[in-house]
Structure 1
Amino acid sequence: MPVTVRWTERKKGRTYFLDIVHDGRRKKVSLGPVSSREAREIAARTERELLLNGWPDDKPGNLTFSEFMTQYFDYCIATKSGSTVKTDRYALQTFAKYIGNAQLSEITTDKIEEFRLYLLRKVKPNSVNVVLRHLKSAMSWAAQRGLISASPAAKVKLNRVPRNTHMRFLDDAEIQRLRDAIGDDLQLRRVVDFALWTGLRRNEIVNLQWSDVDLNRKVLIVQNKAGFRTKSGKSRSVPINSQLEEMLNVMKAAGARHGDHVFPLNYWTLGQHFRRVARAAGLDGFNLHTLRHTFASHLIMAGADIRSVQELLGHHDISVTMIYSHLSRDHLTATVEKLKY
């Protein structure tokens, strides 16, 4: 058999790779964090490709970028979370529209740099960086597979984005303006209230299932599952306050349980819809993640300690949570300024 699944034992478990032998040539290809079954499926596909087409780098000039995407997405689906695969598709399809039906071997560092500058005229630097990171990963994978000699994206630098040490959040009046702009859009109203009361990320919201909701214990569990992985890789629990408990009970009583997901919404569509409503409320530049900052900021101003907020947000490093610490100092300063003697 020209393609054999092998593995190495590591502290976090087995890491699988393919041992490929064909026509006197040998290559080892790492598969990353996949299961034994997924590794066997990838091996079977690779063997079929090998028998039909020979070594991928025998005819590198004949592989178009679109054809490469098909191969790469097979790998992504087998090894990555559903939300990451969606971003992979978005990034590579955006690049494919820019370069047309170019061959993989024709893609150069200059062409990717031109693409970076093109995107900067349309979206924010941080959004461009998201696309570039996924494109870099794809090109690196192509080089590892021998589809190209080296990644043309390796030398393309990400845009410098100043770290925002004072996160923008909504005050009480702005929250009311947002709710007014939502009007009778009940589903969006529920998502917004849910985010304000829990601080969950957008991908955590759209991947939350009813099995993650324990109304008896009044807690939500944000955890890894098929097609979804938490940002830190760890699970966390978030308490359900009385307002959220009431909302979730109403949703269940009204038959709002459409399948397993609490909010059966598309990640990208939800983000776009929220931004439109935010603009209508006069809150330009705000996105759904702003509600996460709002949750954390109001907790700090209400006297919550930074460690508790870190745990609720699921931050791996407390230094990330510390961006909110100035609010505690500012709020205390405003409080003592009320003294009149």
Structure 2
Amino acid sequence: MPVTVRWKERKKGRTYFLDIVHDGRRKRVSLGAVSSRQAREIAAKTERELLLHGWPDAKTGSMTFSDFMSQYFDYCVATKSSSTVKTDRYALQTFAKFVGNVPLAEITTDRIEEFRLHLLRKVTPTSTNVVLRHLKSAMSWAAQRGLTSTSPAAKVKLNRVPRNTHMRFLDDGEIQRLRDAIGDDTQLRRVVDLALWTGLRRNEIINLQWSDVDLNRKVLIVRNREGFRTKSGKSRSIPLNVSLLQMLTEMKALGCRPDERVLTVNYWTLGQHFRSAARHAGLSGITLHTLRHSFASHLIMAGADIRSVQELLGHHDISVTMIYSHLSRDHLTATVEKLTY
């Protein structure tokens, strides 16, 4: 068999790679954080490509960027979350509109740098960086597969953006104003409460099923399933507080199937309704994701340790969670200032 799936055991889990042997040549291709099943699927597809087209770099001269995108998107769908795949598609399609359907071999570092400057004239440095990161990842994958000799995006630097170390979150009064503005929109109220009490992302809320909710153990599980993959690729459990347990118990009493979604809401419509409620509440600069920041911020201010918050949020890297650490220091300082002796 010319393509064999192999793996290495690491601290953060098993990492898979392909061992490709064809026409007396050998190459190893890293697959990153994929499951065993996904690794086998990629191996089978790679083997079919070898039999049909030969060694990848034998056809790079004629491969167009459109052909490359088709291959890369197949890989993305098999290994990434649906939200990440959407951004991958947007980034590469935006680049394709800029360069046209040129041969992959003609994409150079200078051309990608021109694309970066082109984006900066239209969107913010932060938005430009999002597109560049996904393009860099795609070009790196092309180099790993032997579709290009090196990644033309490797030397393109991201824009310098001041780091926002103080995340916007809602205080108790703002949360009450938001709830008042929601009024009798029961579905939106449930979404807001679920986000405030669990820190779930919008996609995680939309894809939550009743089979993920264990009322007896007072816990809900965020996990991968067909058509949905968590951002970190891993499952996590979140305890239910008394208020959320009561809300979910009342909802389940109305009747539901295990494979039914807990909240039947549309991704874009949900965002529109939330923005409308925020305007009525007089709250500017907030999105649904602000509720996730609020969940984490209030936990830290209540004395939760940073590792526990990392686990609840599902952050792969604790450095992401550390943006909330200043709240612990500020809150302790404010507490000490209350001393009068």
TM superposition score normalised by structure 1: 0.81
Equivalent residues of 2:5, 2:43 under 8 A apart: no
Contact in 1 for aligned 2:199/2:295 (Cα 8 Å): yes
Corresponding position of 1:78: 78
Distance 1:281 1:140 in 2: 45
In structure 2, the residue matched to 1:196 is 196
Deviation of 1:6 after TM superposition, in Å, equals 4.0
Aligned equivalents of 2:180, 2:117: Cα separation in 1: 38
Q: Percent same amino acid among aligned pairs?
A: 68
Deviates more, 1:176-185 or 1:244-253: 176-185
For the residue of structure 1 that corresponds to 2:146, the secondary structure is coil
The answer (yes or no) to whether the contact 2:15–2:31 under 8 Å persists in 1 is: no
Change (3 A) 1:6 1:199: closer
Q: Secondary structure at the match of 2:87?
A: helix
The residue type paired with residue 17 of structure 2 is Y
- Give the structure 2 partner of residue 69 of structure 1: 69
Distance (Å, rounded) in 2 between the aligned partners of 1:109 and 1:270:
40
Question: Aligned runs of 1:184-333 on 2, under 5 Å?
Answer: 184-223=184-223, 227-229=228-230, 231=232, 235-255=235-255, 259-265=259-265, 270-271=270-271, 274-275=274-275, 277-279=277-279, 281-301=281-301, 303-307=302-306, 309-314=309-314, 317=318, 319-329=322-332, 331-332=334-335
> CA 1:119–1:297 in structure 2 vs 1: closer, same or farther (change >3 Å)?
same
Is the counterpart of residue 87 in structure 1 residue 87 in structure 2? yes
CA shift, 1:201, in A, is 3.0
Q: Which amino acid aligns with 2:58?
A: D
Name structure 1 gaps, 5 residues minimum.
none
Contact 2:16 2:39 in 1 (8 A): no
Shift in Å at residue 180 of structure 1?
Answer: 4.7
Task: Answer whether contact 1:224 1:230 (CA < 8 A) is retained.
Answer: no
Conserved 8 A contact 1:297-1:324: yes
2:17 paired residue number: 16
- Give the 3 Å change call, closer, same or farther, for CA 64–180 of structure 1 in structure 2: farther
Secondary structure in 1 matching 2:4? strand
The range that moved more, 265-274 or 8-17, is 265-274
Q: Would the alpha carbon gap of residues 256 and 111 (structure 1) be closer, same or farther in structure 2, given more than 3 Å must change?
A: farther
Aligned 8 A contact 2:17 2:28 in 1? no
Residue matched to 1:38:
38
Task: Indicate the SS of the match to 1:62.
Answer: coil
CA positional deviation for 1:269 = 6.2
Per the alignment, do residues 212 and 145 of structure 1 end up closer, same or farther by CA in structure 2, a change over 3 Å counting?
A: same
Corresponding residue SS for 2:248: helix
> 1: distance between equivalents of 2:277 and 2:108?
40
Task: State the match for 2:114 in structure 1.
Answer: 114
CA distance in 1, matches of 2:185, 2:118: 36
Deviates more, 1:145-154 or 1:113-122: 113-122
Q: How many residues align?
A: 334
Indicate yes or no: 2:27 matched with 1:7: no
1:329 maps to a residue whose letter is L
The CA distance in 1 between the partners of 2:284 and 2:144, in whole Å, is: 43
Alignment partner of 1:134 is 2:144:
no
Q: 1:101: which partner in 2?
A: 101
Runs of 5+ consecutive residues of structure 2 not aligned to the other structure: none
User: How far apart, in 2, do the equivalents of 1:177 and 1:121 lie?
Assistant: 38
Partner Cα separation in structure 1 for residue 258 and residue 35 of structure 2: 30
CA shift in 2, pair 1:67/1:247, >3 Å:
same
Q: Does the aligned pair in 1 maintain the 2:208–2:261 contact within 8 Å?
A: yes
- SS of residue in 2 equivalent to 1:132: helix
